[in-house]
Amino acid sequence: MKTNRRDFIKSMSALCIVGATYPLLSACVPKNGNEYLNEKITKIEIFRYDINIPRYFSWGTWHNRQHLFIKISTGDFYGWTETPASKNNPDFKPTAWVKYLEQFKGLTLGEAQKLLASEQVLGSKRSLKMLESLDMALLDVLGRLQNKSAVELLGLTGTNPVPGLYCILDKDEKKVREEAEKSIEQNLAHHMKFKMYGDEKVDMKLLKTIRDVLGDEAVVISDVNKGYKKWKSLDELKGILDRFSANGLNAIEDPAHLKPKQWIQLQEMVGDLNLIPDAPMRPAWKGINTIQKGMGHIYNLHPSTMGSLTHTAKLAHKVKEIDAKVMIGDDSLVGPACSAWQQIAIGVGATWVEAIEKKEDSKIYLECLQSAATNKEPNGYYSFKPAPGFGLEIDTDRLKKVSELYIEV
């Protein structure tokens, strides 16, 4: 049943497209395709991958992070996923994850999809990271079983390369300057995002530092995580944003806690400065009903908060319907999920993708990576050559050796 990439690409023209039918993919499989849904999950593996590089936010600091790479197998076929499971906890044990994943071992893929879908609903108490991670792995293995791209199974048709977005998570001016210079070295200086901290004086210094390094041509975005809290009117908040805009800011995510009507009013008030709603989009099945035309020019589909890749695709279509653009954010991902989200970004025609492999954070993972369907082009854009599932091939034995913890569920 395995196939090489050339044969796969040759067969792409015969693929059918699904939209809202996933997670029940029987509409897209061949006539006897239900056999894939009857394949049982035979093995689930967890690899704990640690990152010990500090990252700074308006609400606190990550001194270290513990990510989980998860491989779900059905016979010889498998799917990969990744989740940032813990932070500032070097002794982290994924007990809750093991308990969650145990219920899926031995189920058929069809049964696993139904169980997953039962919790991807309004009012669900399940962790969005758990739902989204399992969704990614199941989609990956189903694509491999059917010899189809995961992007095709999601009904996404975009093929054009998407610019990578370099992100700086630091408030030290010297380090921000160094990071901006690194973005030039990595050919990612055309799109830059940096964290703001809800302090106009501090945030303005960081913005000016970045513009000083990158010049006027780069697209510069900031994310405040709703950090501006002391404003008493939209006019006052507009004044803050206008000052940033005058000093070279092109777009800003979640500047403050805003209701939909306030988002719309503020976007009208700030004109060409692109507001980017992020928090209102979470989870995807709620965001579909929350977003309104005019809340921003660009809408962020943020990994680890969508909860469902199917609903993410639907949400992207909704954004396009209201004449706005889509961006793919990041949850400081470093491994398998980066390529998956890059493929989704290309499929939805995103204006940029933030979920990219990081030169330092991803170094050990990249040494285990044998091949990927996505590729960073010399100009810093990310392209995609269709491969079954999400198309990642990873040296599992090597990954075991470099992981802080390995568990077979």
Same domain for 256 and 220: yes
- Residue 398 falls within a domain, yes or no? no
- Residue 240 falls within a domain, yes or no? yes
Tell me the residue type at 102.
E
Rounded average pLDDT over 130-151: 98
Q: Is the pLDDT assigned to residue 11 strictly greater than 90?
A: no
Same domain for 367 and 233: yes
- Residue 291 falls within a domain, yes or no? yes
Instruction: Give the position of tokens 């470099």.
Output: 402
Q: Is the pLDDT assigned to residue 43 strictly greater than 90?
A: yes
Average pLDDT of the chain to the nearest whole number = 92
| Helix count and strand count (H, E) for the chain | 15, 18
Cα separations in angstroms, 319 against 164, 191, 291, 352: 20, 21, 8, 15
Q: Is the pLDDT assigned to residue 127 strictly greater than 90?
A: yes
Q: Is the pLDDT assigned to residue 203 strictly greater than 90?
A: yes
pLDDT band of 149, cuts 50, 70, 90: very high
pLDDT at 22: 42
pLDDT band of 54, cuts 50, 70, 90: confident
Same domain for 287 and 238: yes
Q: Is 111 exposed, middle or buried (0-12, 13-18, 19+ CB in 10 A)?
A: middle
Tell me the residue type at 71.
K
Same domain for 197 and 130: no
Same domain for 139 and 62: yes
CA angle 214, 220, 222 (to 5 degrees): 130
pLDDT band of 33, cuts 50, 70, 90: low
pLDDT at 60: 83
Q: Is 63 exposed, middle or buried (0-12, 13-18, 19+ CB in 10 A)?
A: middle
Rounded average pLDDT over 387-405: 98
Residue 254 lies in domain: 162-393
pLDDT at 25: 42
Same domain for 364 and 220: yes
Region label for 398, one of left (φ > 0), alpha (ψ between -120 and 50) or beta (otherwise): alpha
Q: Is 7 exposed, middle or buried (0-12, 13-18, 19+ CB in 10 A)?
A: exposed
Q: Residue 68 sits in a domain of what CATH number?
A: 3.30.390.10
The rounded distance, in Å, linking the Cα atoms of 386 and 279 is 31
pLDDT, tens digit, 9 for 90 and up, residues 303-355 = 999 999 999 999 999 999 999 999 999 999 999 999 999 999 999 999 999 99
Same domain for 213 and 140: no
The dihedral over CA atoms of 260, 133, 80, 47, expressed in degrees to the nearest 10, equals 130
Task: Please report the DSSP string for 244-261 in residue order.
Answer: HHHTT--EEE--S---HH
Please count the structural domains in the chain.
2
Same domain for 15 and 126: yes
Same domain for 383 and 322: yes
Same domain for 146 and 248: no
Q: Is the pLDDT assigned to residue 9 strictly greater than 60?
A: no
